[in-house]
Structure 1
């Protein structure tokens, strides 16, 4: 004759581990049931059918509504103790223990930083500095030159005595030419003027920063109270 072994666990994760352990122990998976979202009446009827007291069965139904998970394993009579021992490897709760823990209330703070942006004046501007540099420039100029050329022409002419007397005398004849040479002069020209002036205006700046937030996470805590029922 089959016997229904039940165990109440706080989370679905623990219940899955219990079902897995029962399967590894050789119990038929088709005869292992997990009840999580069943109503109170449905749970009560299921456990009463398995042979449990109606009031106790209803307490299990109420515990499921508070988040508990009920594992029901139908096993042969000679395997009941082994199934019970397998379940007790995990934190098995009584309905009262789970309901009491569900009724406890505590609080934690969610804290979040905000980013406030202000403004302050900072001295900033521009400075004019003059700097003298040199560069090589070239310019082409056309120069004119005059040259004096000497030309000798052969002659055969007989001078009369009076012409000869006039011809023999020391004389100097000069013919001058000219040549142009480049003359370099420099003139300074203002080619650009740079001036500084102040203008007032507004601008929008997007400021980013890192802010902290303290969140509150909720996790299931395994209870140390171990209890189970065997019909």
Structure 2
């Protein structure tokens, strides 16, 4: 069961109270500055377990420029918040009546569970393609051509014409080159096959059945017991 305590402070004091509540171990979700106005503020306070008269009293204080700070905690811890708030309220001259009203407010939560169904991916195997390099001997026969130049002398007996004689008695150099073919080995990479991996998805429906809990709260009025007559 959660108890609500509300304190009334000036602007400069509410920050000190909030800081001290945090130092005392209260989480941010357990501390709230009520910033609604008018009937909305009254409804918010009543919704936290306070009587309507008390809620209007707090709303009037807020209308005068006061800040309303609420703290929520189980009964065993709420006395810490009460002590901290009362100390600061005493400095501001807050009435004891307001502090007694704060301690009366308790709330009983009505909780219920909702079924939350999600999904996540799991590994179910797959296909692995591993490539490795292997070497194998190959052989190919190539014919190479090689040239050789030879000089051959032979006897001749022939009369030269004037032009031939003129050319024959001039300095001259005649050359003939030799060529030879040599091996030139190179490698060319070619794609001869491709392996493609494809992922195909299929969908299937699954029905989830479970139970969720919900608290049922009964409110009954306790009548005072009749006194026994002597």
TM-score (norm 1): 0.41
TM-score (norm 2): 0.41
- Who wins on radius of gyration, i.e. which is larger? 1
> Of the two structures, which has the highest relative contact order with CA contacts closer than 8 Å and spacing of 6 or more?
1
